[in-house]
Structure formats: structure tokens, C-alpha cells
Structure 1
């Protein structure tokens, strides 16, 4: 059996209980290089075979899994955050299906959740934004034209940019071209929840300079939108004048 396990955003204690248990009994662990906190490997048992997939191709990863299966060993494929977001698990799963190898996906805490927690932010503020766009700038990996930053920026929703730290200048231009104001607030979270986490506040206009001054060009999330500001409406859920299924308004 192969388990795709979400390692969480970085902090060792933010892996799920199920993920930790699987790590502790795994015979083979293939982990996603510098993206996964290596201290998580301390959960593994003595004699566990450990491989860093940063140095491997897809085919090499599958070969290690095939070997483990032939030896009746259990494998954990340890991915950063939650495997469903930029985890490249689909291509692995499809090959496992062809080989009739059973698998299971164990979700994890995504780094976009860890980033919001780091600054005490809420992506979905009443009267500000009820939509979160998770995306990336086009770089060496292409992005569908309909999903370019300029097009997505037109919604002015809360936005989380993965894998875009080295493209801050282009990102800033695209966000502005799409409709965000120059002064729209931005938060850059470097290695969210890791011991060396860093937070930088700026605007879309000053984003490139902020990244340059602080030498941030990888392993950071860029959060964009007015949810980072101070203006929003109170939620109706806890409003004493609002009736819902579990509570009547005080004036009724």
C-alpha cells in the first residue's frame, strides 16, 4: 500500500495524527525534499528506508514504490502541505493504477492555511471577499491562458500566490493590469509555520522592492487583497439581530 500523506505547512506538530501514525510504521518514506520539514522524519521507525524525491524523477519514484510493493513493504509518499495543491500526485496515482498498486490520500494542512494563521487573517470577510483564488504566476511551468493573473485579478477576490516569489515584478504588473489598485495590501509569508518564518507587509506597488530588499525568491506565499485591510462588515452568524436555525434574533 502506498499512502500519499500531507506533511502540513512546515511545523512538525501540524501534520495530522493519521499522517504521523503512518510515518511511524512506514517501511519506506519518499519525501518532497526541501519543501518538507526534515524533522518530520524523526517520526519514522528504525530501519525505515528514506528517499529524497528532490533528486528523483517520476519514474524513479515509481520504481522505488514497485520495489517496496514486491517486498511487501508499506510506503509513505510525503508531500508538503496538502497533496492536492501543487503536489503532482495525479501522475503518480495514474501510474499506480496501471500497476494495480493500491493507494490512499491522507490530507494535510495546506500552507495557504498556515500563512493566514501566521498573520491572523481571514480570507472570507463579509462585504470584502467571499472567494479565495489559489494560483501561481506562469514561469517555466505554463498556466492556461484563461487563468493568467490579469484575468483572475479582475475579480478582486482574496488571492494566494504559490510558486511566484521569484516573479514579483511581473506579478505586480499583472495584478495592477487586472484591476487591483496600487495600494491593495499584500502579505508575504516566508516558510509559514516553520521556525524561521518571516512576514513582510507591503502593497502591490511596493511588492517587488519588498521581495528584493528582503531577498525572498522562494518558499514564500504571497497573499493579496483587501481582506488584509481593516474595513469589513460584521458577520450575521453572531449578530443578535439575525435569526438562523439555532437562534432567534433578540428583538423577535
Structure 2
């Protein structure tokens, strides 16, 4: 059996209880060594075989899994954050499907939610934004034309931009054209790790702040009015609001 598990954004304790229990019984662990904390390996049994996928090709990963299946072993494919977001798991699952190898996906905490926690913000504020867009700028991996950051920013929703801080000038240029105003923006480097850093600014000054801090990778870009704005309180806890669990007080 193969398990694709989200290890979380960095902090070793942000893996799910289910994910940790499977890691503890795994015979084989293939982990994304460039991003996943090695501390997860401390929870493995002594006889586990560990592979760092940072040095492996897709074919090599599948070869290890196939061999483990023949030997009736449990394989854990440990991905950073949540494996469904920029996890490159579809191509792996397709290869397993071709070989009739059973697998399961265990979700994890994404870096975009860890980043919001780091700056103590809520993406979905009443009267401000009820939509969160997860995206990235085009680099060596292209982005569909209709998903260009400028077009997405024109919606005015909260945004979490992955894998793009190394091109911060280009990101900011597109955001300015899209939002058409000076909105708040935050850069969170290595969210939930011990050396986490956060910078909050606006589209006008964030590029200089990022360059001064020397942040070039492993950072989330969060942008939108949710970072700094007035908002309406939730009706859920309004004393005058009635719902199926509570009768509201009459005004």
C-alpha cells in the first residue's frame, strides 16, 4: 500500500495525526528532502528505508515503490504542505494506476494557511473578501494565459501566491495593474519553521523590503485587503441572528 501524505509546511507537529500514525508504521519513506523537515524521520521505525526524492527522478521514485509493493511493504510518499497543491502527485498516481498499485492520499496543512497564521490574519472577512485565490507566477513552469496574476488580481479577492518571491518585481507589477490600487501585501518566509520571517507592506514598498531582507525563495506572498482593513462582524455570533442552534434576541 502507498500513502501520499502532506507533511505540513515545516513545523514537524503540523502533520495530521493520521499522517503521523502511518509514518510510524511505514517500511519505506520517500520524502521531499528540499522542503520537508527531516525531523519526521525521527518518528519512523528503526528498520525503515528512507529516500530523499530531491535527488530522484519520477522513474526512480516509481521503481522504489514497485519494489516495495512486490515485497508487500508500506510506502509513504511524504510531500510538503498539502500534496494536492503544487505537489506533482498526479503523475505519480497515474503511474501507480497503470500498475494497479493501490494508494491513498492523506491531506496536510498548506503553507498558505500557515502563512496566514504567522501574520495572524483571516482570508475571508465579511464585507472584505469571501474568496481566496491560490496561484503562482509563470516561471519555468508556464501558467495558462487566462490565469495570469494581473487578471486574477482584478477580481479583488484575497490571494496566496506560491513559488514566486524570487520574481517579486514582476509579481508586484502585475498586482498593481490588476488591483489598480495600493493594497496590503505580506511576505512570509519559511512559515512555521523556527527561522520564519514575516514582512508586511504595500504594493508600493514591498519590493524594496523583500530585497533588503534578502528573501529569494521558500516564501508565501499574501495579498489583499484582508491584511489591513475594516470589516463587518460575522452574523454567526451576532446576538440578534437566529440559526438552527440558537435563537436570536429581538431588537
Aligned-residue CA RMSD in angstroms?
A: 1.0
Moved over 6 A (4+): none
Aligned residue for 1:248? 247
**Offset from partner CA, 1:167-225 (integer Å, 9 cap, x none):** 1000000001112412x111111111111111111111222212111111110001000
Is structure 2 residue 157 aligned with structure 1 residue 147?
Answer: no
Paired position in structure 2 for 1:28: 28
TM-score (norm 2): 0.98
The residue that corresponds to 1:213 in the other structure is 212
Structure 1 CA distance for aligned equivalents of residues 156 and 82 of structure 2: 25
Q: For 1:206 and 1:120, locate their aligned partners in 2 and report how far apart those are by CA, in whole Å.
A: 21
For the 8 Å contact 1:169–1:207, the answer to whether it is kept is no
Q: Greater CA deviation, 236-245 or 212-221?
A: 236-245
CA offsets 1:109-149 (integer angstroms, 9 cap, x no match): 11111111111110000000000000001111000000000
Checking the alignment, whether the CA contact within 8 Å between 1:163 and 1:219 is kept in structure 2 is yes
Alignment match, 2:125? 125
Distance 1:207 1:2 in 2: 43
Q: CA deviation at 1:163?
A: 0.3
The equivalences for 1:98-113 within 5 A come to 98-113=98-113
Answering whether residue 184 of structure 2 is matched by residue 185 of structure 1, we say yes
Q: 1:217 to 1:149 in 2, by over 3 A?
A: same
Shift of residue 66 of structure 1? Answer: 0.8
Structure-1 separation of matches of 2:25 and 2:168: 42
Gaps of 5+ in 2: none
Query: Which stretch shows the higher mean deviation, 237-246 or 218-227?
Result: 237-246
